[in-house]
Amino acid sequence: MQTVAIIGAQWGDEGKGKITDMLAEKCDYVVRYQGGHNAGHTIWVSGKKTVLHVIPSGVLHDHCTSIIGHGVVVEPENFLKELKNVQSITTVDHKRLKVSENATVITSYHRLLDAARESQGPEKIGTTGKGIGPAYEDKAARKAVKIKDLLDKDILYKKLSNGFAEKKVLFKELYKIEVPSLEEETERLYQLGQQFKDYICDTFSILDKAISQNKKVLYEGAQGVLLDVDYGTYPYVTSSSTSSAGILTGAGNVNGKVDEILGIVKAYTTRVGEGPFPTELFDEVGSYIQKTGNEVGATTGRTRRCGWLDFPLLRYAIKCSNLTSIALTKLDILSNMETLKVCYAYEIDGKQVDCAYPGIDLFKAKPLLKSLKPFKDDFKTNEVSVELKAYIDEIEKGLGIPVGIYAFGPDRAEIKFNKTYF
Ligand code: IMP
């Protein structure tokens, strides 16, 4: 295969980072195409933990070039901090990390607006507070600062001024908060841009050439399909295209189709922030999964809500993103539990619903649960128990696509492949 995409099939936090890291071993390019540092991709190598937010998870492989595509929103201060952290682990320079000149810049104004809305606004989304939504708003309104603008102070000032008159009213009159002046913000961003100017380039042409030369490309999605601004549980979503559709708008896949679209599925369901969650567990089983799975956000430190695996939502995610196979993660967390259930359908207004099509009201969905025999695997050998095999079979049968990878721990050695991707 030449091109593979990794897509979160739930509400994010499925364990995409470690699968990307594993597949990156065999590919030439890893490409981020949407989102920003709201993502938190945790990778464990030989017991050492690295959390990546906006830098692609292929960066720990020396042979691999990492690309931040034009669909990504980049906060320069965070980017540089992350870059320094990665450089303390491995050698990374502009030859193998490229930032699209057309990616959108997250400014201080975006971050402050996000925070003000979340703390003072009437309708909380439960955002990560990183300024993601306001940055994408400016992009859609054609008022964004692009990465290339960081390199010219006059252009940067002009771009920042664009729309500032409106924002100033919001900050002063509505939210009553102090914000940096245009001059201060221009200087700050300019100085930051100078520190990574060598990394800024036209990433579209790099990808175009790579694909025409048959290089192997891995697209790394952030968040999950159910947080997609169009396909997700709107308005409780992020502001980017998290499904595979975002690849074409946020990076480019010239002359080609994506050969394999791998959906990352956690063996149970989690969600952070507000919004509907049909299989959410409010009892001790939910707390057990939360604690055992250490379900705490890598970016915000917030506790994640937990529930059983939800087939209607996954069937929908498969359709939205054309998923062709699944990587099933965190199976170890469900091992040794007293009960094991999956939601095979919902009951809504007395009717059975098999797929969470957008027309249905998820707040009203009552999960129909099937109990399975719990598995008690210790994963010390490559053999899986009859019960675990039955759980995997149930998932393949219920969703209609194969489980190509299963993971029972965070380390590279704890990820097993049933299928070859590159
Ligand atoms: P935003 O992306 O910060 O605007 O947040 C919008 C919604 O997406 C909130 O519910 C966040 O909790 C959720 N979200 C954003 N990024 C992630 C992620 O990487 N994992 C899980 N949830 C996320």
> For the domain that residue 116 is a member of, what is the CATH number?
1.10.300.10
CB 88 within 8 A of CB 97: no
Task: Give me the DSSP letters along 379-398.
Answer: -SSS---HHHHHHHHHHHHH
CA-closest residue to ligand 1 atom 9: 127
Atom of ligand 1 nearest to the CA of 38: 16
User: What is the residue range of 137's domain?
Assistant: 104-195
- Give residue 12 CA to ligand 1 midpoint distance, Å: 8
Q: Which residues of 179-188 are buried (b: 16+ CB within 10 A; e: fewer)?
A: beebeebbee
CB atoms closer than 10 angstroms to residue 103: 26
CA-closest residue to ligand 1 atom 8: 238
- Give residue 235 CA to ligand 1 midpoint distance, Å: 12
Residue 26 inside a domain? The answer is no
SS3 338: coil
The tokens for 241 are 């295209």
Taking CA atoms, 94 is separated from 59, 78, 79, 81, 248, in Å, by 12, 17, 13, 15, 24
Burial class for 333, CB neighbours closer than 10 Å (0-12, 13-18, 19+) = buried
- Give residue 150 CA to ligand 1 midpoint distance, Å: 26
At 291, the pLDDT band (50, 70, 90 cuts) reads very high
Mean pLDDT value of segment 139-144: 96
Residue from 14, 20, 123, 223 whose mutation best tests the ligand 1 pocket (most atoms within 8 A of CB): 223
Indicate the residue among 157, 173, 195 that finishes a domain. Answer: 195
Atom of ligand 1 nearest to the CA of 133: 4
| Residues 145 and 277 reside in one and the same domain | no
Residue from 6, 113, 227 whose mutation best tests the ligand 1 pocket (most atoms within 8 A of CB): 227
At 148, the pLDDT band (50, 70, 90 cuts) reads very high
| Residues 274 and 408 reside in one and the same domain | yes
CA-closest residue to ligand 1 atom 10: 273
Q: What is the pLDDT of residue 234?
A: 94
In sequence order, what E strands does 297-380 have?
Answer: 305-307, 309-310, 325-329, 340-348, 351-353, 366-372
At 211, the pLDDT band (50, 70, 90 cuts) reads very high
Residue 367 inside a domain? The answer is yes
Q: CA torsion, points 191, 100, 2, 28, in degrees to nearest 10?
A: -20
Residue 323 inside a domain? The answer is yes
Reference 323, options 221, 170, 252; nearest CA is 221
| Residues 327 and 411 reside in one and the same domain | yes
The domain total for the chain is 2
Mean pLDDT value of segment 279-289: 97
Residue 248 inside a domain? The answer is no
Residue 13 annotated in active site: yes
Atom of ligand 1 nearest to the CA of 227: 8
Residue 78 inside a domain? The answer is no
Residue from 7, 72, 128 whose mutation best tests the ligand 1 pocket (most atoms within 8 A of CB): 128
Between 394 and 411, name the one with better pLDDT.
Answer: 394
Residues with CB under 6 A from ligand 1: 11-13, 38-40, 125-128, 130, 132-133, 222-223, 227, 236, 238-239, 272-273
Q: At residue 347, what is the residue type? A: E
Residue 56 inside a domain? The answer is no
| Residues 323 and 407 reside in one and the same domain | yes
Residue 61 annotated in active site: no
Taking CA atoms, 185 is separated from 33, 34, 138, 148, in Å, by 26, 24, 16, 16
| Residues 188 and 269 reside in one and the same domain | no
Q: Percent of the chain, pLDDT > 70?
A: 100
Distant-in-sequence, close-in-space partners of 321: CB < 8 Å, separation ≥ 6 = 7, 9, 225, 231, 243, 244, 245, 261, 263
User: What residues pair up with 343 in beta bridges, in sequence order?
Assistant: 310, 369
Catalytic residue (choose from 37, 41, 53, 110): 41
CA-closest residue to ligand 1 atom 21: 12
Atom of ligand 1 nearest to the CA of 222: 19
- Give residue 125 CA to ligand 1 midpoint distance, Å: 9
Q: Is the pLDDT of residue 23 over 80?
A: yes
Reference 171, options 107, 123, 78; nearest CA is 107
Indicate the residue among 195, 219, 238 that finishes a domain. Answer: 195
367-408, pLDDT tens digit by residue?
999 999 999 999 988 889 999 999 999 999 999 999 999 999
Q: What is the pLDDT of residue 126?
A: 87
- Give residue 127 CA to ligand 1 midpoint distance, Å: 5
Q: What is the pLDDT of residue 25?
A: 92
At 40, the pLDDT band (50, 70, 90 cuts) reads confident
CA distance 327 to 261: 11
Indicate the residue among 195, 213, 234 that finishes a domain. Answer: 195
Mean pLDDT value of segment 313-334: 97
Q: What is the pLDDT of residue 247?
A: 97
Residues in the chain: 422
pTM greater than 0.75 (yes/no): yes
Residue 305 inside a domain? The answer is yes
Handedness of CA 208, 92, 299, 410 (dihedral sign): positive
Taking CA atoms, 397 is separated from 159, 400, 401, in Å, by 53, 5, 8
CA distance 228 to 235: 10
- Give residue 38 CA to ligand 1 midpoint distance, Å: 6
Mean pLDDT value of segment 137-143: 97
Q: What is the pLDDT of residue 302?
A: 87
Q: Is the pLDDT of residue 180 over 90?
A: yes
- Give residue 209 CA to ligand 1 midpoint distance, Å: 33
Reference 265, options 334, 216, 217; nearest CA is 334
The CA-CA-CA angle for residues 107, 35, 25, to 5°, reads: 125
Taking CA atoms, 422 is separated from 1, 115, 414, in Å, by 5, 42, 19
| Residues 274 and 406 reside in one and the same domain | yes
Q: At residue 195, what is the residue type? A: Q
245-269, pLDDT tens digit by residue?
999 999 988 877 899 999 999 999 9
Q: Which residues of 312-329 are buried (b: 16+ CB within 10 A; e: fewer)?
A: bbbbbbbebbebbbbbbb
Instruction: Please state, rounded to an integer, the average pLDDT across all residues of the chain.
Output: 95
45-76, pLDDT tens digit by residue?
777 788 899 999 899 999 999 999 999 999 99
